[in-house]
Structure formats: C-alpha cells, structure tokens
Structure 1
Amino acid sequence: MDWTSLPWIRWLFNFAFFYPMVMACFWIVGGVYYYLRRERKKPRPDAPPALASAPFASILVPCFNEQDHVVETITALSAQIYPDFEIIAIDDGSSDRTPELLAALVADHPRLRVIHLSQNQGKANALRMGTLAATSDYLVCVDSDAVLDPHAVRWMVGQLVDGPRVGAVTGNPRIRNRTTLMGRMQIGEFSAIVGLIKRAQRTYGRLFTISGVICAFRRTALHDVGFWSDRMVTEDIDISWRLQLAGWDIRYEPNALCWILMPETIRGLWAQRLRWACGGVEVLLSHGRDVLAWKKRRMWGILLEYLLSLTWAYVMLTIIVLWLVGQFIQLPPAIHVESILPRWHGVVLAFVCMLQFATSLIIERRYEDKMARHFYWVIWYPIAFWMLGMLTAVVALPRTLLRRRQRAVWTSPDRGATA
C-alpha cells in the first residue's frame, strides 16, 4: 500500500494544530462580544440594582462528609444581602460530623432547615429532596464547600425573574486555594477558559453546562424535565442539556461570584476531570440524537464543539502513539512523527493561548483585583491541562460505553490545600 497516497493522515496532523487555535479565537471573539453587549455596562458585583420585586428564594445545600467546610458555607449563605430567603441543607448520609454540625447551626441561623437522609443516595437525589422541601419557585443550589458572595443570590434570582423562559442560571466560580502551582493554573483556567467559553456559548445561545457548584433553577422548569437524574455521573451537564432541549433558556451571570476549592494533587485532579469527561460522553450518548432535530438547531453548536474536542483528543493520542512507535520501527514517511516537542506551530499556539488569557484578564479584572499576578502561572496551563484533558477524554469514551448504569453516589473529592 502506498501510504503517501493517504491525504487524510495529513489532515489529522493539521487538525491537531488548527483546532485549539481556531477554538481559542472563536472563544475570544464570542467572549468579547458578550462582554461589550451584555456585561460592560452592568453594575459591579457588589453594587446590584434593587429588584422591582424580590421573591422569596430557597437555597439548597447538598452535603456529604463536609465537616471541614459546611460551617463556613452556611455562615456565608446566612449573610446574603437579599430580603427573603431560606436555607435548606440536605445531609446525604454523611459518616463524619456533618450531621452534628448542621444540627448545631440551626440555633444560630434561623433561616436554616436541615434534612437528614439515612443513606448516601447521591447529589441528584439530595437536590430532589431539597426541592420537595423548598417553598419557593426560585432555587439557588450551592455546593457545601463553597463560599458565596453576599450579593450572589440577588444576581441569580434577578436573572430568573427577568425572563419567564429562563430555566436556569449559572454563576461565576472563583478559585480560593492558591498555594500551589496547580491551584494557580486553575485560576487562569476558570477565568480564561471556563468564563470565556460560557460567554462565547451564550453569544450563540446555548451553554454546554451550568457550573454545578453555583447555579439557580426555576422549579417549574425542573418539573417540566423530570428534575435531576441520579443515573448520570454529572447531573449538572445532564440537566443543562435536558432543560435546553425542552426549550428553556440558561443564562450566565458573571456577577454571581462563588469561591470554591479545587483539587491540587494529580490524583484528585485526574478523578475530577475524568468524572467530567465521562459526564460529557454520557450526555452525548443520551441526548446527542435528540439535538439533531431541526427544532433543536440552536444546540448544534454545542454538539459540534464537543464532538470536535473529543476528536482532537483521539487525534493527539494517535500522534503520540505514532511518535512512540517510530522510536522503535521505521514508519512510512506519511505517518512518521519526528518530534512531539513544540516548534514554530507551538510558538503560534502559545501566542494565541496567551492572547486568550490576556483577553480574559481584561474582562475578569472587574470581578477580582490583581488578576495580572496570576498571568505568569497560566503559561504552564497548555502543557499540563491540555494533556490531562486529552487523556481523560480518551479514557472516558470506552469507560462510559462499558459502564453499567447505576445510581451515582457521592465520593469525597480532593479539596486541595487551603493555607
């Protein structure tokens, strides 16, 4: 066989180079457009305008083995600058001191109610139980290790009140553990990657997922789609797709700040990103065919973006494998990879990546002072996190295809260093 007659191989190499560059440019343009049209003239996060009517809101806090963080989370929620709200903490069969701490907190926080579940049934089930106990149509969901900005509830509920077809709102997570290189790189990730992607996706109308750590829902929208699924590894991605497929809108509210803890070990980060990758594959398998309908065409961009990212992961794996094989046997010239070290194309990608980070810094500086001090650390992001994303995507596809569907229960993740 004449391997040099296979032009598709060259297309694979070109795709591996052009895909991240084109997507970065797309996110930059979409993010800047969103900022100029919807964000630039909005008040700052700490100075929200008064709502014409501030409806009663329910804050749901699912908990599992969070004795180290739940007190801080509930205290921050009680300090919300919002007229009328309740806090419902759902202890999902914790085996540490979380139930005792929650029971003690009730005396000091009159807005707090606690639901104790006898067995670990997973976050989706805990959220359903909290929804049943809630008395409001506006539900703000916060992870039990997160610290909410005092005005976050007002910004989230404001988006729901603003549009009757708004089914969910996603907030703006910010990294609070910054003592290691991995933690500092994730600061850049959540601003330059996550934040910019959400802005770009909102520009063409649909979000791939809400941020499960800080989000808000309209109860009637949840009821319309059957609430959260306890069979999905990532309930936040699944509920995002089902809401949008049912015609509900999801908005991004960057003023709703939430300070979160992220893994700072290789093992913890791998477990987290593999779970996210498996969740994406699950949603693709469950809802991908539904998206193809003409009436769902506003979701096509999200579907195409995800399929291209999955394809890129396998193309990168192919290139690496070809390079490794080429170290031991002589391959045909058309598929021979001399080196995987960056050359001129690596310089171009690095420039586009830094341009993306710089763009996000300009946008994000209104939400966090001294963001520029973290600019140096994000230089290492493409090497570390692109490789991690590629590997988790490659592993997630066969793992999800072979996994037997069962209830997704809680596991205690790596929270990183907090000092």
Structure 2
Amino acid sequence: MAFDFPYLTWLFNFAFFYPIVMAFFWMIGGVYYYWRRERRAPRPESPPPLAQAPFVSILVPCFNEADHIAETIAAAVAQDYPHFEVIAINDGSTDDTARVLEDLTAHHPRLRVVHLEHNHGKANALRVGTLASRSDYLVCVDADALLDVHATRWLVGHLVDGPRVGGVTGNPRVRNRTTLMGRMQVGEFSAIVGLIKRAQRVYGRLFTVSGVICAFRRSALHRVGFWADDMVTEDIDISWRLQLDGWDIRYEPNALCWILMPETFRGLWMQRLRWARGGVEVLLSHGRSALSWRRRRMWGVLLEYALSLLWAYAMLAIIVLWALGKFIALPPLLYVDTLLPRWHGLILAVVCLLQFATSLAIERRYERGLARQFYWVIWYPVAFWMIGMLTAVIALPRTLLARRRQRALWRSPDRGVR
C-alpha cells in the first residue's frame, strides 16, 4: 500500500521556514523603524524639552518586595522631571514590605504608600493606584525594576504630544547576568523583543506593552475599564483592549529600565508559561473582535501570534513522530530519524546570529558592551525556542480548560539574585 503525505512535507517546511521568515521580517521592520525614527533622534541621556510638563503619577505595585523595593523607589524619586509623585501599592505583602515602605516615606517626600489588606493581584493594585493618583498621566513600573533617570520624560512625551496615544512601552534591559541563562536573556531582550516591537510599530499594532515599564493615559484606561482581574497577564490584555478601542500604543526605546530576570530553569519555565497563557487568553477573549475591518491594524499581531501557536504544535508533531519511530514502524514519509540539527540547523543558527548582529547595531546607542553577549546568544535557539514551544503547547489546553472569572493573584518570581 502506498502512502502519500503532502501535508507532512508542508509541516516540515513550515517548522523550518517560519522562524527564518519571521527573523527577516523583524530585522527588516526593525531596521526601517531605526532608520525613520531613531537614527537621528536624541540619545536617552539628552531628551528634548517638553512644550509642557504635566503632573505625573508613578505607580509601583508590589507584593513581598522587601529585598528590592528600596532601590526601586530610589530610582523612581530620582526622575529628572519637574512635577511627579510616586505611589507604592502594597498588595497584602506577608514579608517586611509594609515596614520598608513606611520607612521610605520619611526619606522621600514624593512617596505615598497605599496598603491593601489582602493579595488581590497586580491588576487590582494598579487600579487602586490609579484611583489614588492625582494625574491623567501614569507611569507604571515593577517593584524590582530601576527606572533610568530620564525614563519618565521619554514616556510622557508621547502622551503629551499625541492625544490618541493611550499607552507607551519602554525598553527593559536585563541587569542580572551571572549565569548562561541570564546572559542569553540579554540577547533575547535586545535581539528579539526590541526588534519585534519596532517591526510591529511599522506594520500595525503592538502585541503588548512591557508590563515592567509602561505609561498610560488615565482617561484611556477609564474608557476600557482599567486592568482585568482575571487575566494572567494584565499587560497583554490592556494593550489589546486599548488598541481595539482605537487608542494608539507606542514604543519608546529611549525609556530605559533595568530589570531582574529568572536565572533558574524552574523560574524561567514558570515565567514563560504565564506569558504563554496570557497570550492564549487574549487570543480567545479578543481575537474575534480584532477581525473586523475597522480594527484591521490588529490583523498583523493576530496573525503573528496564531502562526507562533501553529509552529509550536508543528514542532510537537515532529517530536512525537520521532519518538513513535523508535518503537513502531512508520511509513518513510512519516519517519523522523533525528532531532539533531543538520544543515538546516546551521542555517537557523546563522540567521539567529544575523538577527542579533542587526539588533546590536541598533541597540548600541542604549547600552554598551552588548558585543560581549554575542557568544551566548548562539545557545538561544536550543534553550528558549524549546521552552517557548513547550509552554505554548501546554498553555492552549490549560487555558481552554481553566475556570474563567478567577482572580489572577501575585506569585513571587525567580529574579536570579539572592
């Protein structure tokens, strides 16, 4: 009996060509964005003057952040901006966060602290901070992140200049680089995240703001109902809801923020699984709404994410066929003899290095010494593509089977330092 599986050939071709095509897509979009908007722009340390400098509220939601909150607040109150306040929202912490924050109020007059009795999640903490704020311009930063001194000025500039700008996302940089995993993430945030945001700004909308550093127009948040309590990733959800409502979200690479990232496999796995679940939740909640002609600028990010899920399951199918071939006789067209990279693996590695080199040429204006991380990014496809594939495969059924309308609470992440 003869077997003919043309769809399997398509499966293999898609699994191979998808990351290559997307890499070139992001590189071309990133270079175009850089050439049009960054090449002659002022550097991060020299922001242009604002026509007006409105009062700004910097929100710092926190849960069990006693080890990091002092330096985060110190960076927040040191902003080179004339009129602002800092509001720390202690969301029912069980460690010494409350005491540390109260002690900090004696040293930082701009700081106000809101204490919540129970842990109700980051979305609720941000909403409470927004209600306590005195400004229509909000800068949101995670409790373990260090804002660059000019970050607020760069973020708020977009909100002041663009009346239809509902949000702005900044440029997070990894500051813990003591392990291979940490160093690979340095390459990821510059070579992958930065290029993706630039490319998305070129062809349409952003998939998400970086929740660790972003700014919002309070009136825009009010229109869409603020952050959702039941979404695993509140930053992806609010990004989609704002853009579906007609608001623009911009990327500001000059708004730097230094962040801590996981440096253990378990910590990285939990973080990426949460991100994957958040993406699936948004796809299920807002995907159909994005299909209307009026929201056609969302089609790019919708298609990009749908293809990434399809690629994850294509890779899973290939792995399953390889495993089955070890135990049962499969038709030749179904047999996968090895998962080890051959010539196509070399091509993927070269494209990955080319992508990082392209990003290096762009990102060197924001951070020195990135070239020292060039070697470590070689391992990125092996480690992070596999993690991304597995978390996407797990996230889809888990999200479909999960109980809806369940509040998303805080979890203390691995931040790579002790």
User: What band does the TM-score fall into relative to the shorter chain?
Assistant: over 0.9
Q: Tell me how far apart the structure 2 counterparts of residues 343 and 411 of structure 1 sit (CA, whole Å).
A: 40
Tell me the CA shift for residue 159 of structure 1.
Answer: 1.0
Tell me the CA shift for residue 146 of structure 1.
Answer: 0.3
Structure 1 match to 2:330: 331
What does residue range 11-410 of structure 1 map to in structure 2 within 5 Å? 11-405=10-404, 406-410=406-410
Tell me the CA shift for residue 147 of structure 1.
Answer: 0.5
Q: Tell me how far apart the structure 2 counterparts of residues 3 and 242 of structure 1 sit (CA, whole Å).
A: 47
- Cα deviations across residues 33-85 of structure 1 (Å, max 9, x unaligned)? 00000111111101111111111100000010000000000001111000000
Q: Secondary structure at the match of 1:410?
A: coil
Structure 2 match to 1:413: 413
Structure 1 match to 2:3: 3
Q: Tell me how far apart the structure 2 counterparts of residues 370 and 284 of structure 1 sit (CA, whole Å).
A: 37
Q: Tell me how far apart the structure 1 counterparts of residues 241 and 329 of structure 2 sit (CA, whole Å).
A: 49
The one-letter amino acid of 1:295's match is: R
- Cα deviations across residues 144-188 of structure 1 (Å, max 9, x unaligned)? 000000000000000111100000000000000000000000000
The one-letter amino acid of 2:408's match is: A
Q: Which stretches in structure 2 are left out of the alignment for 5+ residues?
A: none
Tell me the CA shift for residue 205 of structure 1.
Answer: 2.1
TM-score by length of 2: 0.99
Q: Secondary structure at the match of 2:287?
A: helix
Q: Tell me how far apart the structure 1 counterparts of residues 360 and 173 of structure 2 sit (CA, whole Å).
A: 13
8 Å CA contact retained: 1:179, 1:417? no
Identity of aligned residues (%): 76
Q: Which stretches in structure 1 are left out of the alignment for 5+ residues?
A: none
Q: Tell me how far apart the structure 1 counterparts of residues 370 and 415 of structure 2 sit (CA, whole Å).
A: 22
Q: Tell me how far apart the structure 1 counterparts of residues 350 and 266 of structure 2 sit (CA, whole Å).
A: 30
Q: Tell me how far apart the structure 2 counterparts of residues 59 and 3 of structure 1 sit (CA, whole Å).
A: 63
Tell me the CA shift for residue 3 of structure 1.
Answer: 2.7
Q: Tell me how far apart the structure 1 counterparts of residues 61 and 367 of structure 2 sit (CA, whole Å).
A: 27
Q: Tell me how far apart the structure 2 counterparts of residues 3 and 171 of structure 1 sit (CA, whole Å).
A: 53
Runs of 4+ in structure 1 off by over 3 angstroms are: none
- Cα deviations across residues 343-381 of structure 1 (Å, max 9, x unaligned)? 111111111111000000000000001110010010100
Tell me the CA shift for residue 417 of structure 1.
Answer: 2.7
Tell me the CA shift for residue 331 of structure 1.
Answer: 0.5
Tell me the CA shift for residue 2 of structure 1.
Answer: 4.0
TM-score by length of 1: 0.99
